[in-house]
Amino acid sequence: MKPPKGPRRSQVAAAVLLTVAMTLVPLAVGGCRLRPPPGPDDPPPLSDILEDLDWNLTEPAAAAGKEGVYELSAYNPGRAGVSLSGLVAYLVAEVGDSSDRPRSEEVPLPIEAGPNAAVSVTLTLPTLASWPEEFTIRAIVKQATGTEEPVEVASAVFRPGRIALIPVWPEYGYLDFPLDDSFVIRLDTAVSLDSLRACVSLRTAAGDGDGALVPLDVAAVPDLGPLTYEVLPLVDLEPFTRYSLLVGRALVSEDGQTRMGRDRAVVFSTGPSRSFGSTLWPPAWSPTGERLAWVAPGTTGALTLFVGDLRTMTATAMVERVLGGTPAWAGDGRHILYAVADPAGAGVGRLDVETGSFDVMVRATDLSGPCEVGIHTSPDGKWAALDVNYGGVDAHSDVMQTVFILDLATGSAEAVPSTGLCSAVVGWRESRLYYASTHLSFDHAHNFRYDLYVRDLEEGGLQDEAVLYSGELENVGGYAMAASAGAAALWTWDAESLGRWIVHRPADVWMLWKLDEAGGPELLRLTSGGRYRQAALSPDGSRLAAAKAVDGSWDLVVVDPVTHDESVVAEGPAAQFAPAWSPDGTAIAFVTAQGRSTRIAVINVTTGQTTVFTVP
C-alpha cells in the first residue's frame, strides 16, 4: 500500500502567504506598521549626509583677540556635491551642569558643499572669566525644521587664555579677608609690569552690573617665584563684600607673541577688616531655648554683649566694651559668662540677665594675661572650660594657647596639662571634658597635629586620659559637641607657605563617633574637597550645620553625617555663617553679614522660615 501523496508546491506557497498576511494584520489594526524600505526618491538620514564630509572646529586667525569666535568648516572629498540646504549649526561648551550648558546661536550652513571644496560658518560662544583655563566645545548640526535628532560633527579642546592666570591668594570663589590687604597672582608667561597694571582691575561685584572700581597698584614679588605679582588695593576694602579681581583680555606677553585671549576674574568676598573689628562668632542659646546671647559691634562700634528674646525677636545691648567670642549661659539660665576687657588682658565677666548687673569673675592676671578667652560651660553648670589665647591671629599660628577649668562655685581656675604649643576645648559630655593638645610643634607652613584627651571632673578632676594619640587630628580649626550624643565634629584647614605669608584656607569637616564607648572614638571624614568652617552639631548628632564657601559667598548648609547628603538652608549675597542649634534641634541661629551690616537670624529647619532679630 502506497503512502498518501503530500501537498502540491502551489498549495505550500499559498499557505506561507496566508501565514504572513495573518501576522501583518494585527500590526496594522494596532496602529503599528512595518517601515517600508526607503524609496529611490527619499532623502538619506541626516547622519549619512554629514558623514560624507570632513568637519573641523578651529579658532580663525582673523578673529585673533576676539572672545569666543570659532570656525566650523566642512570639506567634501567626494565627486558629487552634498546638499546642506535647511541645516543649521551651533556650539555647546562642556562647562557647568550638563542640563544647562552654554550654547551659541544657530547659524545656517551653506546650501551645498561642492566636490573637493570646503565651506565654513563662523559661530560665537561668549566665554566667561569663571570658566576653566581649558574646556571642550562640541559642534552640532541639525535640521532647521524637522524631527531628526541633531548630530555632533566635531569637537575640540580650547584654551582661549594663552596667558594663564593662577590665583595664589585668594583662590577662585574663596571668601576671606586677604592677608595684609593684598592679593597674590601668578602668570605662566612673562609680561611687562606696565601692561599688567593697565589690564588689572578690582571692583565690587554688585549684582549683574559693574560695581565700583577700587584704586590699586601692582608689584612684582620675586621672593615668591618668577611671574608672581602682588595686587595692592590703595584703600581699605569693605568687610563682607563680594569683589571681582579682573585681568583683561588685552594683556600681551613681553615679546608681543602671546595674548590673554579672554578676561580672567577671581571672584571672592572679604571677611572682617581691621577697621571693622574682629570676626563674628556663633550666638549662644539659653538652656530653655527662649533667648539668645551674642557679641557684635554696637552703635558706638565697640563690641557689645546682646541678649535677644525669641518670642519678640528683639535684642537688647547689655554690656559694652567686651571682647569677642561666643558667650556661655550658666545652667540657671539667668547668668551669662563672656570675655571681658581687663586692664591686664582678657578675663571672664558674668552678667545677671534679670537685673542687668555684671562683674568680673576671673581677671586676666589669674590666667597669666591672655589676649582672648573662649568659654564653654558644662551641662550641669558646675564648671566652665576656657580657651585661653596668649597671642597671634588665631589658635593655629605661632601662639601659645592653654585650656583652663573654672569652678563656677569658687571662681578658681586651673590649667590642664599641655603637650605642645596649643590646646583647645572640644566639648563637654556630662562631667567629662574633652580637649585637644598639639602633638608636635608646627612646621614651616604652620601645620599642626593634635592628640585628644578626656578629663572626668567627677572622678578626681586631675586625671587625663589620651583618647586619640600620635597626632591623629591635623590642622583643626574648631570643634563642636553634640549635647545628647557621643559625637563631635571638627573642621580643618589647609596651610600653605607663600614666602613671607602663611595662608590658612578652610577645608573639610570630620566626625568623631563613639566618644562614650570603651573602644574609643572613630574619626571619619564627612566632606571632601570643600571649604567649610564653623560647624555645629544638632543636640542628637543627627545633623551638622556649617558655613561653606561657594562662588564668593559663605552659604549655610546642613549635612547628614550618615548619608553625607547636603542641603543649602541660607545663601548669599556675602556671608551666612557661625551656626548654633537650638536645644530642641528645631532651629539654627546664625550670623548674616553684608558690608557693614551684620545681623542674627534664626531659621526653622523644618519649614525653612527665617526671622531676623531687631536691635532698637
Please give the Cα distance from 216 to 230 (Å, whole number).
Answer: 10
Please give the Cα distance from 247 to 130 (Å, whole number).
Answer: 12
Grade residue 238 by pLDDT with cuts at 50, 70 and 90: confident
Phi/psi for 218 (5° steps) reads -130, 135
Write the CA distances from 317 to 21, 295, 321, integer angstroms. Answer: 93, 9, 11
Are 475 and 562 in a shared domain? Answer: yes
Query: What does the pLDDT read at residue 192?
Result: 92
Are 242 and 309 in a shared domain? Answer: no
- How confident is the model over 506-530, as pLDDT tens digits? 899 999 999 988 777 899 999 998 8
Are 553 and 438 in a shared domain? Answer: yes
**Read out DSSP for 317-345?**
EEEESB-SS--EE-TTSSEEEEEEEETTE
Residue 508 located in a structural domain? yes
Query: What does the pLDDT read at residue 65?
Result: 54
Are 185 and 149 in a shared domain? Answer: no
Please compute the mean of the pLDDT values over residues 578-586 and round it to a whole number: 96
Whether the CB-CB separation of 58 and 70 falls below 8 Å is answered with yes
Beta bridge partners of 13: none
Query: What does the pLDDT read at residue 21?
Result: 40
**Read out DSSP for 406-441?**
EETTT--EEEPP-SSSBEEEEEEETTEEEEEEESS-
From its phi and psi, is residue 427 left (phi > 0), alpha (psi between -120 and 50) or beta?
left
Host domain of residue 226: 165-269
CATH of the domain at 197: 2.60.40.1220
Grade residue 241 by pLDDT with cuts at 50, 70 and 90: confident
- How confident is the model over 594-606, as pLDDT tens digits? 888 889 999 999 9
Domain stop point among 158, 174, 198: 158
Distance of CA 429 to the CA centre of its chain: 31
Domain stop point among 90, 124, 158: 158
Residue 507 located in a structural domain? yes
Grade residue 397 by pLDDT with cuts at 50, 70 and 90: very low
| pTM score | 0.77
Number of domain units in the chain: 3
Whether the CB-CB separation of 237 and 273 falls below 8 Å is answered with yes
Q: Are strands 587-594 and 216-220 parallel, antiparallel or unpaired?
A: unpaired
Query: What does the pLDDT read at residue 191?
Result: 93
Query: What does the pLDDT read at residue 466?
Result: 85
**What is the DSSP code (8-state) at residue 379?**
T
The amino acid that residue 348 corresponds to is V
Domain stop point among 239, 269, 299: 269
Please give the Cα distance from 373 to 402 (Å, whole number).
Answer: 10
3-state SS, residue 38? coil
Whether the CB-CB separation of 489 and 535 falls below 8 Å is answered with yes
Are 203 and 342 in a shared domain? Answer: no
Are 265 and 324 in a shared domain? Answer: no
Whether the CB-CB separation of 390 and 368 falls below 8 Å is answered with yes
- CA-wise closest residue to 129 among 269, 268, 270: 268
3-state secondary structure 177-242: CCHHHCEEEEECCCCCHHHHHHHEEEEECCCCCCCCECCEEEEECHHHCCCEEEEEECCCCCCCCE
**Top mean-pLDDT range of 42-46, 195-199, 319-323, 496-500:** 195-199
Are 521 and 502 in a shared domain? Answer: yes
Phi/psi for 199 (5° steps) reads -105, -5
CATH of the domain at 554: 2.120.10.30
In the predicted structure, residue 395 carries a pLDDT above the cut 70: no
In the predicted structure, residue 467 carries a pLDDT above the cut 60: yes
Beta-carbon neighbour count of residue 225 at 10 Å?
11
* Distance linking the first and last C-alpha atoms of the chain: 122
**What is the DSSP code (8-state) at residue 19?**
H
Are 365 and 506 in a shared domain? Answer: yes
Please give the Cα distance from 57 to 156 (Å, whole number).
Answer: 6
Write the CA distances from 206 to 242, 244, 462, integer angstroms. Answer: 7, 9, 56
Are 320 and 214 in a shared domain? Answer: no
Are 583 and 464 in a shared domain? Answer: yes
Residue 15 located in a structural domain? no
Mean of all residue pLDDT scores within the chain: 84
Please give the Cα distance from 248 to 313 (Å, whole number).
Answer: 47
Are 233 and 314 in a shared domain? Answer: no
Residue 362 located in a structural domain? yes
Handedness of CA 465, 468, 474, 475 (dihedral sign): negative
Beta-carbon neighbour count of residue 248 at 10 Å?
17
C-alpha cell of residue 294: 551674642
